[in-house]
Amino acid sequence: MRYYLIFSAFFIFLSGCSTTTYTRNISKGVIQDPKIRISAKDKSFELQGEFQAPFHSATRYNSLQMSDKELIKGYKNALHHGARHVIIEINDKTLYGVLALDKADKDGIGPGTQSYKIIIPQAYIDAAKNGKISVVYEYYKLKNDGIIDVGDIKERSWILWLSDEDIFE
């Protein structure tokens, strides 16, 4: 009986750990550069300037789970979790990519939990050539509950993988 109780307690503890907390909807966003247009490969949406989120993904790629280096190859799994295959038009240049728009963690704080602000610095565009992948994202921090220090965890809200070749099929 005692072992049964211990096992039950352990199971309940594990279930609690795995409960999703990414429940806060982020409904709007903006692409900072009005000249940049991101459209779905299947033509289901087109984003430019201010936008309403056309979908929500569930990659849950926080920095504990995935470092920046690992994130470059994370697009495959992201596509399985609702991220979308996109075409990015920047001035006269066309890039291909994958866009993830995740919901926010319920313990997230700051403007990054309220809306998406998509910025693609030129250095990342320039580096995404000859089929090489660049990835850019916005992250927010978690509220410290005073027991566990979560100040260093980066929770990513939007993630954009890009390359000059369509290697994201």
Q: Which residues bind another protein (CB under 8 A)?
A: 24, 68-69, 71-72, 106-115, 117, 119, 121-124, 126-130, 132-141, 143-147, 154, 156
Q: Residue 1 CB, nearest distance to another protein (Å)?
A: 27
b (16+ CB within 10 A) / e for 35-74: ebbbbbeeeebebeeebebeeebebbbbeeebeeeebeeb
Maximum Cα interatomic distance, the chain, rounded to a whole number of Å: 71
Q: Residue 85 CB, nearest distance to another protein (Å)?
A: 19
- Cβ closest to another protein, residue 7 vs residue 111: 111
Q: Residue 44 CB, nearest distance to another protein (Å)?
A: 26
Q: Residue 112 CB, nearest distance to another protein (Å)?
A: 5
Amino acid at 2: R
Residue 38: closest CA among 24, 53, 48: 48
- DSSP structure class, residue 128: S
Would you say 61 and 156 are in contact if contact means Cβ atoms under 8 Å apart?
yes
- Cβ closest to another protein, residue 39 vs residue 114: 114
- Cβ closest to another protein, residue 80 vs residue 131: 131
- Cβ closest to another protein, residue 98 vs residue 135: 135
